[in-house]
Structure 1
Amino acid sequence: MAVLDVRPIFYVIGCLLLVLSVAMLAPLAVDLAIGHSDWQVFGVSSALSLFFGVLLMLTNRQADISLNLRQTFVLTTAAWVSVCLFCSLPFMFSEARLGFADAFFESMSGLTTTGGTVMTGLGNQPPGLLLWRSLLQWLGGIGIVVMGIVILPFLRVGGMQLFRSESSDKSDKAMPRATDLALGFGWIYLSLTVVCAVLLVFAGMSVFDAVNHAMTAVATGGFSTQDASAAYWEEPAVHWILIVFMISGSLPFVRYITLVRGDAVPLLRDSQVRHFLILLVTISLALTAYLHVEAGLEVEQALRHASFNVVSIATTTGYALGDYTLWGPGPVTLFFLLFFIGGCTGSTTGSVKMFRYEILWLALRTQINRLFSPRRVLALTYNGKPVDSDVIISVMSFVFVFVGLLLILSVLMGLTGLDFVTSISGVATALNNVGPGLGSIIGPAGSFAPLEDEAKWVLSLAMLLGRLELFTVLVLFSPNFWRS
């Protein structure tokens, strides 16, 4: 059994903790400005993160930072868990006084941009803690974009190797180096956030609420500063602005770079973008007609409520504009299916994502054609590029494992005493990083606070698995992985 050199792993984790300690200064400054005592909690948490971050960096500074395949797999999972542990500190020791299970759940939900919460009475929570929740999702969102474009294609996880050309192939990439690509993502991400915040202020939100919602909308995270989520604001402009930026966060960020450089063709020709937008429009219009006829809503109100909730769930954001579980069994079933859509690859969204459905459709169409024309040679192409058989196998394996985990984790949730709807929708929303589930407990009008700690740990694991595309975590449990 080969010994894994963990020094570069610890060094990178130390760097991440250093960044985390700096991020904690923002909520510290907010609480200090209004004289709230929680600023001390963020000060101590920042100091602890800084101490351990510097300690890891200094004790492992001689390590070769160039990572091999095994080290990258271990780092990806270890980094998320380690950072999540330190992010839990403010939740445990602040005025909220969350237990360890609740604090870890809230942190994991934030960093994975899931949006499920155990906190209630958000309007009365200290502003620093609310900003910390939103900041976690914002930082997690940009981390997800970089991971989805730079790391996961390299690891060949779940068919993501199909997009290696967008980050490492010199013949077809937007910028010459991955570092430049990540820097470009960062500027675009920041620009979208600033524009969204400014528009929300003009639409009627306070500056604090606008900043928080801008961060969680672009990150497709869904944390809000009010228990009623987006329904707290009655201005239609607020809802439409959030719709636009939820969609913006669900599109491939690599296409934004080419768009900024004056070339809109790659964005318009990307099949996953076209199909995703068509799907959103079609379902929104169908649900609008349903609400207008069955619920008697005015056309504009029906269109706004339908579009907002459809976009929120399909992009795995998780905002809520009213309790859509009261719309009837048909819409509730539809929203459950929307849990499994997700946006485009290289975006901040979770779930299965559109490109995998397109690959599955190509494979199905090819198999059907071969039944009546077995000698016919059919070339599979995606966005004009050939699709290798290993990509198809990866996608089919991902879907198979996804369904298997959904069933297994739902059984574990049921063993904690939860009903079927709460169990399966809770696991589905966690694996897909959506946010609210279905039912009276964890639905859009509820929270995850009433669940047992065991259920919260199961959902925390599901959020991590979903965010890291399943195999990145599962491969660590393979004995062959640890052999030379």
Structure 2
Amino acid sequence: MRPALYIASFFGIVLAGTMLIPALLDLADGNDTWSVFAVSAAGVFCISTLGVISLREPMPAFTPRFGFLLTSVIWLTSCIIGAIPFWLSDLPMTIGGGIFESASALTTTGATVLSELDAMERSILLWRSMLQWLGGIGIVAIGLFLFPFLRIGGMQVFRTESSDRSDKALPRLVSVTRALCFIYVFVSIACAIVYAALGMSVFDAICHAMTTISTGGFSNHDRSFGFFQDSRILWAAVFFMIVGALPFVLYVEILVRGRFNILTDWQVRTFLIGITAVTLILALWLDQTRNIDLADAITQAAFNVVSIVTTTGYASDDYAVWGPFAFGIFYILTFIGGCSGSTTGGIKVYRFIIVFQALRRAFTRLVYPHAMQPLRFGDRVIEQDVYDSVIIYFIAFFLVYGFSILALSLAGQDFITALTGAQTALTNVGPGLGETIGPSGNFASLGEFELWLLSFIMVLGRLEIMTVLILFTPVFWRD
């Protein structure tokens, strides 16, 4: 535990430094709330520095068990640190509400307990966006380098040279990390420039760029992207949400090795074909049932489909009133998520591919019992341990989902709120369905127990479930 807290203390110092940015923005705006971020930064810096000094000791060898503990400790402590400015501000924020808002930001979920965002201090809005942006780069990094090593839910199929923990691989790891950070910053800046060129204010463009690339979904306006009323901005968001939902390792391949493998990647092609098909089907539904012009229907369908399937959670309209067919589509899309090694949440496309390949093999064996048909992911043969990891992940996912629904129902929430609240937290999407937590609502009406529970579920879903659940087993703590 000491080495994990020691490393987490360095992350605390980084977060303390980032708090100075909204403090400077408050000073520039002439708001007295700059002291909230200044005091938060000073307190977090002092405590984190004390942790670095007092907890320092020789680092243990990196083992899967240490990896599980380190990942969970970093994310849990970061959620607490991120909540401090919310607690010290004048916002009507309970302790559970602050943790919920911070966890939602860092896990790039996008659910919120805040309302009247249009009249809120810019420093708070910036802090929410910054937390999502930092959470996005964080999950890409551990998804690319750590999860394959920990053999989480079939992620070992994406283990590359950069996942090797040998001394020989260290230079490759450093170069890939630098390329990853450069790409993440570059596409964020590009997104902000495009938003500003299309009519957003500079502040809105910066904040929305950070929450778009991170597929987080926090907006500066209560109406989310419905505030802008510009189809060009919606299509720009569609493009950059898809950029955030694709495997960043493929971008690194382009930058470091000059290999353009994006369109030939089986997972990417499945993802793009899927969202295109669903968009067209939903657009035709809107055109026929709501008498919306087909071009506008395609725009609205594309934006909201991509927003949900990439687990961003923006909304341009209250799609909960589009009818039962659309309701069902969005409920299903919430589970799917984007590609592995991206900023998205959800179950991920590659797991569905592996499960459908297994289902196909099962049908073949019913007809030809002795047929030898290996599972394949593109041109790669899926090993048995990868298949086992995927199946175990699905079992864990739906067990946690079921218990979460029961817990929210016992707390007094109606069935739709419990059903979609647990789902949107576990898949890190953001808005649920229904009148309470739907696209036009928020989570402010939920009680403290529900907020704490959903905060834990968001972290659980963000860290691929097993990373956190393993900490609650006796075998993990056995010497």
| Superposed pair shares fold, TM > 0.5 | yes
Matches within 5 A, 1:235-246: 235-246=230-241
The one-letter code matched in structure 2 to 1:102 is G
**Residue 377 (structure 1) aligned to one of 353, 356, 372:** 372
Matches within 5 A, 1:93-104: 93-104=88-99
Does the aligned pair in 2 maintain the 1:174–1:181 contact within 8 Å?
no
Determine if the alignment matches structure 1 residue 161 to structure 2 residue 156.
yes
The one-letter code matched in structure 1 to 2:360 is R
Aligned-pair distance for 1:169?
5.4
Aligned-pair distance for 1:262?
6.8
Determine if the alignment matches structure 1 residue 287 to structure 2 residue 262.
no
Determine if the alignment matches structure 1 residue 234 to structure 2 residue 234.
no
Q: For 1:242 and 1:289, locate their aligned partners in 2 and report how far apart those are by CA, in whole Å.
A: 22
Does the aligned pair in 2 maintain the 1:168–1:177 contact within 8 Å?
no
SS in 2 for 1:440: coil
Determine if the alignment matches structure 1 residue 248 to structure 2 residue 243.
yes
Q: For 1:236 and 1:29, locate their aligned partners in 2 and report how far apart those are by CA, in whole Å.
A: 34
Determine if the alignment matches structure 1 residue 408 to structure 2 residue 403.
yes
**Residue 81 (structure 2) aligned to one of 76, 79, 86:** 86
1:399-445 deviation line (CA, Å, top 9, x unaligned): 11111111110010001111111101000000000000000000000
Q: For 2:327 and 2:36, locate their aligned partners in 1 and report how far apart those are by CA, in whole Å.
A: 41
Residue 15 of structure 1: aligned partner: 10
Aligned-pair distance for 1:71?
1.7
| Structure 1: runs of 5+ lacking an equivalent | 1-5
**Residue 174 (structure 2) aligned to one of 175, 179, 184:** 179
Residue 45 of structure 2: aligned partner: 50
Aligned-pair distance for 1:174?
11
TM-score (norm 2): 0.97
1:56-93 deviation line (CA, Å, top 9, x unaligned): 11112332264332221111111111111111111111
The one-letter code matched in structure 2 to 1:150 is F
Matches within 5 A, 1:350-429: 350-429=345-424
The one-letter code matched in structure 2 to 1:200 is Y
Identical columns (%): 43
Q: For 2:396 and 2:63, locate their aligned partners in 1 and report how far apart those are by CA, in whole Å.
A: 25
Distance 1:380 1:232, change over 3 A: same
**How many residues are treated as equivalent by the alignment?**
477
**Residue 334 (structure 2) aligned to one of 339, 345, 351:** 339
Q: For 1:408 and 1:97, locate their aligned partners in 2 and report how far apart those are by CA, in whole Å.
A: 30
1:245-295 deviation line (CA, Å, top 9, x unaligned): 000000000001122357454212211100000011000011111111111
**Residue 306 (structure 2) aligned to one of 311, 315, 332:** 311
Q: For 1:479 and 1:261, locate their aligned partners in 2 and report how far apart those are by CA, in whole Å.
A: 43
Q: What is the RMSD computed on CA atoms of the aligned residues?
A: 1.6
Q: For 1:266 and 1:175, locate their aligned partners in 2 and report how far apart those are by CA, in whole Å.
A: 24
Aligned-pair distance for 1:185?
1.1
**Residue 213 (structure 1) aligned to one of 197, 208, 212:** 208
**Residue 431 (structure 1) aligned to one of 426, 442, 458:** 426
**Residue 137 (structure 2) aligned to one of 142, 150, 153:** 142
SS in 2 for 1:401: helix
SS in 1 for 2:157: helix
Q: For 2:356 and 2:96, locate their aligned partners in 1 and report how far apart those are by CA, in whole Å.
A: 40
Residue 295 of structure 2: aligned partner: 300
Distance 1:168 1:390, change over 3 A: same
| Structure 2: runs of 5+ lacking an equivalent | none
Does the aligned pair in 2 maintain the 1:116–1:436 contact within 8 Å?
yes
The one-letter code matched in structure 1 to 2:454 is L
TM-score (norm 1): 0.96
Q: For 1:80 and 1:231, locate their aligned partners in 2 and report how far apart those are by CA, in whole Å.
A: 32
SS in 2 for 1:352: coil
Q: For 1:244 and 1:56, locate their aligned partners in 2 and report how far apart those are by CA, in whole Å.
A: 42
SS in 1 for 2:398: helix
Determine if the alignment matches structure 1 residue 272 to structure 2 residue 282.
no
Residue 453 of structure 2: aligned partner: 458
Q: For 1:16 and 1:40, locate their aligned partners in 2 and report how far apart those are by CA, in whole Å.
A: 22
Does the aligned pair in 1 maintain the 2:148–2:163 contact within 8 Å?
no
Aligned-pair distance for 1:95?
2.4
Q: For 1:66 and 1:221, locate their aligned partners in 2 and report how far apart those are by CA, in whole Å.
A: 34
Does the aligned pair in 1 maintain the 2:180–2:252 contact within 8 Å?
yes
Does the aligned pair in 2 maintain the 1:284–1:310 contact within 8 Å?
yes
